[in-house]
Structure 1
C-alpha cells in the first residue's frame, strides 16, 4: 500500500475523474434514446420515430470514429504527452454533447450520427493517453492499484450517468438535460485537469526528489531511458508477438460482452422486465456501481496475494482475468432463461455479470504495460482499435437478432453469443498470455 500521498497519486485521481467524465459522455445516449423515441415518457419534448435499426446505428456509430483514432492516438500520446490529447477530448466531446439536442432537432438522426462519430474520434485518444501516463507515473509494485483506481472511473461515470439520466429525462428539463449537464461537467473537469494534470514526472515541478527517485528507479538508467524515448515503434515485432495477439483477442471478446450489455441493457429492461424510465435507469446503473465497488475489492485481493507471495504476477493476471470472464459467461447463460415474471432475478444476474467483469482489469487490461512499458500507449491503441470494432458489430448484431424486443428467446441468443466469446477469449489468454517485458521494448545494442 502507499506510504504517503504523492503527486503520482494525485495524477491517478485526475485520471479517475477524466475516465468518469468521458464515460458519462459516452453512455449518455443509452438511456436518452429510450426516451427520445417514446412519446409516452415525456410528451412535452419532441419524440423521434426511429426504427430499431436506426437506434442500433446511433448506438454503434460512436465506435466508427473511435476505432479510427486509436492507433494514431497511441503514437501521438507517446510523442506529445497524454495530457494534451485528454484535454482535446474533454473539451471537444463536452461541446458536442451540449449540441446533441440541436443536432437532433435540425438534422434528425443523420446529424446525430455524424456528431456521435466525431465524439468517437476524439475519445479514441483516451485509453492510449491514460496508458501512456500510467506507464510514466506508476512504479511496478503500485501498478495494479494505480491502474485500477484510474480505470474504475469508467464504471463510476457510467453509474452516475445512467442513474441520473432517468430522473433528468422525467423532469421538467426533459431528455435534453442529459446532454446539457454531462457536457457542462466535462468542460469544468477539463479546466481542473488543465491546472493539475501532468503527462510525466519530468514535466512536474512539484514532484519531490524522493518521489522522483522512486518512480525513475523503475525506468532504468537515464541513458537507456533517453534511447527508449527516441526509439521508433517496432511495428513488425508487435504483429509477430503471440502474447500481444492473445491480449488483443481477449480484449475483443471482453468488449463484445460489455458493450452488448451497456448499449442494450436499458432496452432489455424496458421491454422484457417492463420497468418505467426512472426504474430502468436505476436498474441499468446498478451493475456499474457494483462493478466500481468490486474493482477495489479485487485490487485489494491482488495486493494481498502479491504481498504474501502467494502467487506469481503471471498467475495473478490469469486468475483475475478468469474470474472476470468465466463468471459473466455463466450468469449470461442463466439470464437467457429468465423472463419478465422474475424481475429481481434478472436484475441480480445482470448486476453480477457486469460487476464481476471488473476483475479483468487486473488481467488483460494492464497487460499492455507488462509487455512493454515503453510502448504501452501504442499497444493499447492497437488492441483497443481492434477490440472496439466489436462496439460497432455487437449492437448491429443484436439489432439483427432482436426483431421482437419482448422475446425472451431472441435475447437468449444474444446472451449465449456473448457467453461463448467470454470463454473463448479467456481460454486463449490462459494459454498464450505473458507478463514478461518483451525484448522489443528496449533498443538493441
Structure 2
C-alpha cells in the first residue's frame, strides 16, 4: 500500500513568511531574532518564486517517473526540497531575498515531481477497485501536513528556535520521510521486498497492463519502454475534459486559500491569520470529509449502486457545484453573518475533497501506463491557473472594502466551477483509452547464449 504524506508543506511556509516578516520578536528578554523588513512587493516575489519552478517540471517529472520509476524521482524531489527548507534561514542571512528566491525556485522544481510520481505509483500499486481508497489516502496527506504545521507553527516560532524553527522542523520531517521512503518504498510490486507473493500477484493481476513487464520469458529482467503517444493524448477529448476540471478546480481552490482571508478581514472585519486554529480549520475539515467521501464511495462500490463512471461524475459534481453555490452565497455575507461566513468557508473548502474521487483519478482511468505524464500535463495547466487567479483578483478588486468587487470574484470563480464540472460529466470518459497499450513490434537477436526481446518500434 502506498501512503504519501506531504510533510514539508510549502503552503504553510508561505503563510509563515507572510506572518513573521517585518516583526521583531524577543524570546529570551535579551536577544532579538533576526528579521527581514521586506516590503510587500518583495514578499510577493519571494512567495511566487516557488511556483516558477513548480510549473516547469510537471511534464518532465511524469516522463522521468515513467522511465525510471516514481519511487526514485519522488525520493530525490522531496529530499532535496527538504534539505533546502532547512537551509532557508541561512540563505536569507547570507544573501537576503534574492538567495531565498533562488532557493524556492529550486524547491519548486523539485516539488513538481510529487503529483506525477504519485499518480505513476498509484497506477502501479492500486488495483482498480482500490484506486479511490489509495488515491484519497495519499493525497489527503497534503491537508494533514498543512493543518498540523499551521497549528504548531506559532508554538515553534515562540520557542528558542524562533521563526527559523518552522523551516527546520518541516524540512527535518521531510528528510526523515525521505529515509523511510528510500528503504521501504518501491517502484512497483515486483520490486518490493516487503510484500508476499500472494499480494504481488493480486496487485499485478490487473486487466489493464503495466508499462513495465516484470520478467521476460528468458528470466532476464527486461523493461518494456513505451513511447508516449503525444498525438493521441493531445487529440483526446476525454483528456481535455479532465484537464479542464483540474484547472478550474485549482482556480477556485487557490482563490479561496489566498483571497478569502483578505475578504474576511476587509469586508467582515475578521483576521483569521491571527488565529492558528481558525486558519487550519479548513484543512482539517477537508481532511475529515475526504475520508467521509471515501467511506461513501466504498459503500456504493460494495453495494454496486453506481458504476465507475457514475461514481466519478457524482463525486466530481459534489466537489465542484456545492462549493459553487457556497461561493455565490459568500458574496452576500455581511458583518452580521460572521459565523455563517466561516461555516460557508469550511463547507466550500471541505466539499472540494470529493474531487479526490472524481477527476483526480481520471488520469489513471484513461491510461494507467501514462498516468504520471497525464497528471503532469493537467497539473501544469492547473498551476498556471493558480498564478493567474490572484492576478485576476488584483485586477478586479481595486478597493478591498468594496463588497461588489468581491462579489464579481466569487461569481467568476463559481462560473469556473460550473463549466469545469459540466464538461467533465458531459464529455469525460472513464474507461481505458485505445492509446494506453501500444502493440510492440518484437525483434529477437542473439545475445551470448540467450535471445532477448528488444522493442524497436511501437505501432498504435
Partner of 1:84: 72
Cα 1:350/1:228, change in 2 over 3 Å: farther
Q: Which has the higher contact order (CA 8 A, sep 6+)?
A: 1
> In the aligned structure 2, how far is the partner of 1:122 from the partner of 1:380?
16
Cα 1:37/1:307, change in 2 over 3 Å: same
Q: Structure 1, residues 144-186: CA drift from partner, whole Å, max 9, x if none? A: 1111111111211121122222343455543322222111111
Whether the aligned pair in 1 keeps the contact of 2:209 and 2:437 (CA below 8 Å) is: no
Partner of 1:25: 10
Partner of 1:4: none
> Normalized against structure 1, the TM-score is what?
0.89
Shift of 1:113: 2.4
Q: Structure 1, residues 235-290: CA drift from partner, whole Å, max 9, x if none? A: 000000000000001100111111222334444455554337541x3222101111
> In the aligned structure 2, how far is the partner of 1:365 from the partner of 1:269?
30
Which segment drifts farther, 374-383 or 164-173?
A: 164-173
Matched, 1:296 2:281: no
Cα 1:338/1:35, change in 2 over 3 Å: farther
> In the aligned structure 1, how far is the partner of 2:70 from the partner of 2:124?
10
Note the residue ranges of structure 1 that are not aligned, 5 or more in a row. 1-8
Cα 1:218/1:31, change in 2 over 3 Å: same
Partner of 2:301: 306
Shift of 1:97: 1.6
Alignment of 1:411-422 (within 5 A): 411-422=406-417
> In the aligned structure 1, how far is the partner of 2:247 from the partner of 2:272?
33
CA root-mean-square deviation: 2.6
Shift of 1:408: 3.8
Select 2:86's aligned residue among 86, 95, 98: 98
Shift of 1:383: 0.8
Partner of 1:330: 325
Select 1:347's aligned residue among 331, 342, 356: 342
Select 1:426's aligned residue among 404, 411, 421: 421
Matched, 1:392 2:387: yes
Matched, 1:274 2:270: yes
Q: Which one has the bigger strand percentage?
A: 2
Select 2:258's aligned residue among 258, 263, 271: 263
Alignment of 1:365-384 (within 5 A): 365-384=360-379
The 3-state SS of whatever aligns with 1:150 is helix
> In the aligned structure 2, how far is the partner of 1:155 from the partner of 1:316?
23
Whether the aligned pair in 2 keeps the contact of 1:90 and 1:190 (CA below 8 Å) is: yes
> In the aligned structure 2, how far is the partner of 1:221 from the partner of 1:97?
39
> In the aligned structure 1, how far is the partner of 2:317 from the partner of 2:284?
21
Partner of 1:48: 37
The count of residues paired between Structure 1 and Structure 2 equals 428
Matched, 1:159 2:158: no
Alignment of 1:137-286 (within 5 A): 137-171=125-159, 173-219=161-207, 225=213, 229-269=224-264, 271=266, 272-275=268-271, 277-279=273-275, 281-286=276-281
Shift of 1:112: 2.5
> In the aligned structure 2, how far is the partner of 1:87 from the partner of 1:268?
38
> In the aligned structure 2, how far is the partner of 1:45 from the partner of 1:209?
56
Partner of 1:36: 21
Note the residue ranges of structure 2 that are not aligned, 5 or more in a row. 215-221, 440-458
Whether the aligned pair in 1 keeps the contact of 2:212 and 2:225 (CA below 8 Å) is: no
Q: Which has the larger radius of gyration?
A: 2
Whether the aligned pair in 2 keeps the contact of 1:56 and 1:396 (CA below 8 Å) is: no
Shift of 1:106: 4.0
Matched, 1:320 2:315: yes
> In the aligned structure 1, how far is the partner of 2:114 from the partner of 2:171?
17
Cα 1:220/1:314, change in 2 over 3 Å: closer
Which segment drifts farther, 145-154 or 258-267?
A: 258-267
